[in-house]
Structure formats: structure tokens, C-alpha cells
Structure 1
Amino acid sequence: MKTVSLCGITMALTMALGCSNGPVGVAEEAEGFAMLQHNPSMLEASYQSGGSSVRAMLVESAPNVVEVTYDFGDPVIAFRIDYNQGEGHFMPNGNPLDAAQARLITPLLEGISKAVPEEEPARSRVENAAMRQTSFMQIVPLGEPLSPYRFVSERGWTHISCSCGSQNIGGYTRQAGRGCSCNGGSGNGCKGRCGQGCGITSTPACVGSTAYTQDCAKHDYGLGSFAAASDDYSFAGNNCSCSGVGTCS
């Protein structure tokens, strides 16, 4: 199996990170969100709170190939998303992600979402990857050793209905679809969405993607792994819209 090393990724990001020993310069920045660089081929943003920080760095290293790094100091979690080949690599390095670090991801995503076009077709490859991979970071397990793996879009995904109801989510029948109340009786709504669930903040419920798939629904119900949903988060087409979802609190 073809592998890509973390230092190989960070070589492409040398101007900002290199092989990281920690989030460069974040300690000097104020608490909260900061957009540090943003153009069609590069996006760099950070979020700092309560002594924890994360710096996201995305670079289009070749046409339709995006290198992505989330630098917490320890760990550093990287992706390589190759839209030409329809494949991605998940490359964690260091200790497991802890709860304080994981809490940084949602406000980081919300900050990025305000800086990029709302509609996916209007985004650059880097902007699209920033939204989708940061959404994916929300479901990376906490406190568990993480291993690198490869995922491919050619294995496909199965979209589910946008309308909330009892649905086949790949061997299981569960409530899934759009809506804050579409929560299967507990937890966040918008079950099956490959992105931020609705009902967890007062933010509009369409941050991330609007793809609803079986693997994302299985993950939402604890019936499938985050790794199995990787290709859905990164590549699945947006089959639903935000219409009728609204803002939840």
C-alpha cells in the first residue's frame, strides 16, 4: 500500500510549519480565532483557548492535491487529499487527541466557515478541504492511539434521504435526515450528515458539508467507525441543502 509520511506532508508546508515541534507563533496570539493566511491555494488559521491551541494549515501542493495539517503541538494530525486519484491519507503523529484539544475544532470550523464562500461550488480546492477535513476532525476519537490509513472514493458511499424518517443505514434501521429534531430520540439532530450535527450550538446547522450518507449515519449511532466515514466526509457529493434546517440551540 502506498504510504505518505507526515514529514513528507510538512515538507510541503515548510514556509509555515516544517516538521512541527508545536504550533508556530500561536502562543503570541490572542485567545480565539485568527485567519493568518487565505488565498485560493493556501489557508492558515488558528484557534486558541484556555491554554490549548490548534493551527490548521492547508496548501495545494499540486493541481487538485491538498496537504492538510492540524498542529496541536502534540499531536499533529495530517491529511493528504488527492482529488485527481480520489484518495486520501490520514496521518496522525504523537499522543492521542484530548478533550481540551477536541473542543477547539468546532470554533475553528465556524471561524473558517465565515471566511470562505457559503456554497461549495464557489470554493477553491483548499477552501473545500478546509471545511470538509475540519468537519471530519470533529469525529476523530479522543484518548485513543490513532493509526495512519488510506481511504479511497472509488469504494463509494450510499446517500440517504434528506427527509427525516426511519431509513436503512447499511444493515440497520434508524431515524436519519435533516432537522434538529431528527436525532433518533437522543443526541444531536441531522443524523447521517457528514459534518457538524445540528442542535449542539446556536450556529447555523450547515457548517461543513450537506452530504447525508449511510456511513455517516452509522457513525452517528455508534454502529460504524470514523475511518469508514472518511471517504464520505472528504468526497461525497452534497445531496441535501440547508433549506428547512434552520438554526438550533
Structure 2
Amino acid sequence: MALTMALGCSNGPVGVAEEAEGFTMLQHHPSMLEASYQSGGASVRAMLVESAPNVVEVTYDFGDPVIAFRIDYNQGEGHFMPNGNPLDAAQARLITPLLEGISQAVPEEDSARSRVENAAMRQTSFMQIVPVGEPLSPYRFVAERGWTHISCSCGSQNIGGYTRQAGRGCSCNGGSGNGCKGRCGQGCGINSTPKCVGSTAYTQDCAKHDYGLGSFAAASDDYSFASNNCSCSGVGSCE
């Protein structure tokens, strides 16, 4: 009893439970989504808010760095706004399971998603190709520069000045590992982490990036704005 009273009268700080390992959906509304992923002492918190009709503010907070986007679907333009140190390997490894958690929480088809949900899938997919260990600079990207879709079927294709194997399928790797060359986001197969759900876009700029022939920045508008031209139906297993 005395111990109970002593604890009850204590003016000391109240302990705060540590954030759980793994994925946590913190808030999820049509105009707001907040989620986190923590593993091995590294963590990332994604916050997306529709600040005005069809304008989505996106932040990935690793503590250091903080990487933000402003996606204006009305004007068809986006801004990439990094702040802090380069992304390190431990931080980069958080993005794929974060995307997996988000993909399980939003509708499979992009037509059924809110602007925030769609941006969460697309921008988190884009975060998978942000360079690790390199200084990042802010830039602007616009939809009006356009994109060129490629065929969904795996085969030798023109990817914009180069001919390479590209298209759906985990074995569509051009002999250089990582299948689904030309895919702009989410998973490659039905059992990938994250898995391919609904539909996604395959474009020349995304293929060039996959082969090291183009920058991640050049693929920004494809990830954010390109219409989805390839269904995930029948993509197969990646085992």
C-alpha cells in the first residue's frame, strides 16, 4: 500500500512507451494519411495531407534527412524538397515494408483511391529509387513534359534511344537482376514485398532508370503523374 501511494504521489516523469517495431498506420482519412515503419533503431514516418483540392503535401521524416514533395495535380507539377544528410542504407531499407503496409491499407485500384491514397502509393514507390549515400538537391518536375508508355509484355523494346528487354514479369530483367524493367512503382509479382496490386505504369524513363541510363529525377513525373497502363492480373510469382 505504501509503495502504491508513493508511486501515485511521485512528481517524476511518466515513462512513454517506445514506438512498436514494424508498420503502424497512425491516421488514415480521405484527405490525410500518416504511417510509420521502424526497424533496428531506424524509423521513417510518412505524412500526406491534401492541403487544397488536388494538392498533396508529402513528407518522409527519417529524423535526418526529411524528404518532402508537393504534388499539384491541378497544375501538373511537383516539387522534390530534401533537407539534411544523404539517405543511408538502413533508412532506405525501410521504404519497401512501409510501401507494403500502405498498399494493404488502401484500395487496390487507383480509381478507387483518394488523392492522398494515390499519392501515398506513387510517392512511396518513388522513394524506393531515391539514391543512397548521395547529396540530394531540390528540383521541380512537370507532367507537361510527358512520358512514353512501353508495352506491358516482356520483350525487346525501344526505351528512348536504347533497345532493352522491358515489361512485366520477374524474369524480365535484361540479364541484370530485378525484373519488371520499366515499372514505375509498387511490386513486381503477386508475392513480392510489396506485391503488385491493381495496375501500374511502365514507361521509357522508368526503364532507362532501371538500366542506369537515366536519372531518378527524370522519372519523377512518370511516378507521380503517368497513367497506369499495365494490369497486375496474371503477373505471376517472383519465387
TM-score by structure 2 length? 0.90
* 1:160-191 deviation per Cα after TM superposition (whole angstroms, max 9, x unaligned): 00110000000000000011111101211111
Aligned residue in 2 for 1:111: 101
Q: 3-state SS of the aligned residue for 1:67?
A: strand
The number of residues matched between the two structures is 239
Aligned to 2:69: 79
Q: CA deviation at 1:116?
A: 0.2
Contact 1:54 1:71 in 2 (8 A): yes
Q: Secondary structure at the match of 1:68?
A: strand
Deviations 1:223-242 (A, max 9, x none): 00000000000000001101
User: Does the 8 Å contact 2:47/2:58 carry over to 1?
Assistant: yes
Unaligned runs of 5+ in 1: 1-10
2:103 alignment partner, SS class: helix
Q: Is the 8 A contact 1:195 1:208 kept in 2?
A: no
- With 238-247 and 31-40 compared, the bigger mean Cα shift is at 238-247
1:91-150 CA distance string (max 9 Å, x none): 000000000000000000000000000000000000000000000000000000000000
Contact 1:98 1:143 in 2 (8 A): yes
1:198 shift after superposition: 2.5
Q: 2:50: which partner in 1?
A: 60
Structure 1 distance, partners of 2:219, 2:20, is: 34
CA 77–189 in structure 1, closer or farther in 2 if over 3 Å, else same = same
Q: Which runs of 4+ in 1 moved over 4 A?
A: 11-27
TM-score (norm 1): 0.87
Aligned-residue Cα RMSD (Å) equals: 8.2
Q: Following the alignment from structure 2 to structure 1, what is the Cα–Cα distance between the partners of residues 34 and 181? A: 30
Aligned equivalents of 2:186, 2:109: Cα separation in 1: 16
Could you say which structure has the larger radius of gyration?
2
Q: 1:168 to 1:13 in 2, by over 3 A?
A: farther
Deviations 1:45-86 (A, max 9, x none): 000000000000000000000000000000000000000000
Q: CA–CA distance in 2 between the matches of 1:59 and 1:17?
A: 41
**CA, structure 1 residues 148+240, in 2 after alignment: closer, same or farther (shift >3 Å)?**
same
Where structure 2 has 5 or more consecutive residues not aligned to the other structure, the ranges are: none
Higher alpha-carbon deviation: 44-53 or 198-207? 198-207
The DSSP-based 3-state class of the residue aligned with 2:209 is helix
> How big is the shift at 1:22?
25
Q: Post-superposition shift, 1:16?
A: 35
Which of 24-33 and 64-73 deviates more? 24-33
C-alpha separation in 2, matches of 1:38 and 1:147: 30
Q: 1:223 to 1:108 in 2, by over 3 A?
A: same
Q: Percent identity?
A: 95
